[in-house]
Amino acid sequence: MKENISINLRNAGAFVSQEEILALAQQSVRHLDSLNAGTGAGNDFTGWLTLHEDVVIQLDRIEKTARHLRSVSDTTVVIGIGGSYLGAKAVIEALSHTFSGLQKTKHHDILFAGQNICEDYLSELLDILEGRNYSIIVISKSGTTTEPAIAFRILRDHLEKKVGKAQAADRIIAITDASKGALKSLAELSGYDTFVIPDNIGGRYSVLTPVGLLPIAVAGFDIRNLVKGAQAICEVTRKNHNASSNPALLYAAARNLLLQTGRPVEILVGFTPKLHYFSEWWKQLYGESEGKDGRGILPASVDFTTDLHSLGQYIQEGQRILFETMISVGSPRHKLTIPKETDDSDQLNYLAGRRLSEVNRSAEAGTILAHNDGNIPVIRIMVPELDEFYCGQLIYFFELACAVSGYILDVNPFDQPGVEAYKKNMFALLNKPGFEEEGKKLREKI
């Protein structure tokens, strides 16, 4: 049996004591209880708690659809934004060959659209798709989000012109609400195969629904192991009332205590670029869940050692308003040692024969000590390796901890009312029917 991810609070201990963390974690058992009982704020959106059990019956169909898309195309464009984009992107980036786009071996490329409204991005994507035999997965829970809707209109038109309406319909999959929204009606009208995002799961908690699982399966990864990982960490967290052995409670407690000691910024740190988009997913999860009612910890992220040569200076010596959460990955997938040179002109022979991962681990340990010396607390999440199983663990762990943390902060971790503000203005400025008056007022202000 594989071991679980774990939390190491030793390098936060000089800033908040282990006793304080444990005490708040133990008090937070009541938040776990209200999540499980469905009695807390946003209780209509806690379906993700047992998702890894509920989704199992869909795995065959998801895998079958993935095989179909892989057999009829060499590329799949996944259209979606926010929670309908970041989970799949995070897992695919974590598990893929870093240079998969340049690999000569036959593989299926996953490209993303609808996560911005940039004309150049979509035009350049169309340039690439001219030479590709592609499919589309379009994802929107509401079915009305502007960014993916625009991208889908443009790409659908492109694909239909390229392969004909019937062929296009055979390679477009829509993932959306069971009954509501423009995407649902469009899918029905056009005969697209569809998957449902359950009503009781919000976008950023939806990675383990077809929203994340279908793109990840099309990319060629083992979604059963991903789900198993979530299941395994759920078993030691969701109903575990013993806070000292519940990493989700400890993490939620530690970060809230650090906030209370005057650190409103949390930086998620990875020592591998493979985690870059995992941090983006995490930022959305925590930012949208906690940032409301004038509260919340600002989630930021860095990739080390790259960013030790940019933001590293600020972290070491800037305003002491932050703490770090480091994802420490045990073993890399590959093995690479540093060669010996006879003349040692670059003076690196002291490293000859040693693995890059040893150097990276020393960089990590050195950074923790330096940042502790610079008065920065560091929480560590220990992950044995980056595979499907541990991606599943990280996803469930961070989701559960986020929900508990939101309850500690006394906010509803499952809504995102603030996201509407820019949309209203954008619609008004674009003269969307019904927004004309507001548009006039706004134009006077610009």
Q: Binding ligand PA5 by CB under 6 A: which of 204, 255, 274, 371? A: 204
Q: Is 288 in the site for ligand PA5 (CB under 6 A)?
A: yes
Question: Of 152, 105, 154, 162, whose CA–CA distance to 132 is shortest?
Answer: 162
**193 backbone dihedrals φ, ψ, rounded to 5°:** -65, 140
Please report where in the chains the tokens 């923790």 appear, as a residue. Answer: 368
Q: Binding ligand PA5 by CB under 6 A: which of 42, 203, 247, 413? A: 203
Region of 54-62, 78-86, 262-270, 325-333 interacting with ligand PA5 (CB under 6 A): 78-86
Strands lying side by side in the sheet with 265-270: 6-8, 378-385, 322-331, 265-270, 298-303
**383 backbone dihedrals φ, ψ, rounded to 5°:** -120, 120
Tokens of 192: 């697209």
- CA–CA separation, 345 vs 143, rounded Å? 61
User: C-beta of 425: minimal distance to ligand PA5 in Å?
Assistant: 16
Pick 212 or 392: Cβ nearer ligand PA5: 212
Q: Binding ligand PA5 by CB under 6 A: which of 82, 229, 247, 287? A: 82
Pick 145 or 272: Cβ nearer ligand PA5: 145
Using CB under 6 A as the binding rule, the residues of this chain from 108 to 167 that contact ligand PA5 are 140-142, 145, 148
Using CB under 6 A as the binding rule, the residues of this chain from 364 to 393 that contact ligand PA5 are none
Q: Please identify every residue annotated as catalytic.
A: 288, 309, 423
Return the residue nearest ligand PA5 (CB atom).
Answer: 203
Pick 288 or 387: Cβ nearer ligand PA5: 288
Region of 22-30, 202-210, 244-252, 262-270 interacting with ligand PA5 (CB under 6 A): 202-210
- CA–CA separation, 217 vs 173, rounded Å? 13
Q: Return the axis-axis angle of helices 388-408 and 86-95, rounded to nearest 10°.
A: 140
User: C-beta of 132: minimal distance to ligand PA5 in Å?
Assistant: 25
User: C-beta of 151: minimal distance to ligand PA5 in Å?
Assistant: 11
What are the start-end ranges of the E strands in 294-421? Answer: 298-303, 322-331, 378-385
- CA–CA separation, 245 vs 52, rounded Å? 21
Q: Return residues touching ligand PA5 (CB under 6 A).
A: 81-84, 140-142, 145, 148, 202-204, 288, 416, 419
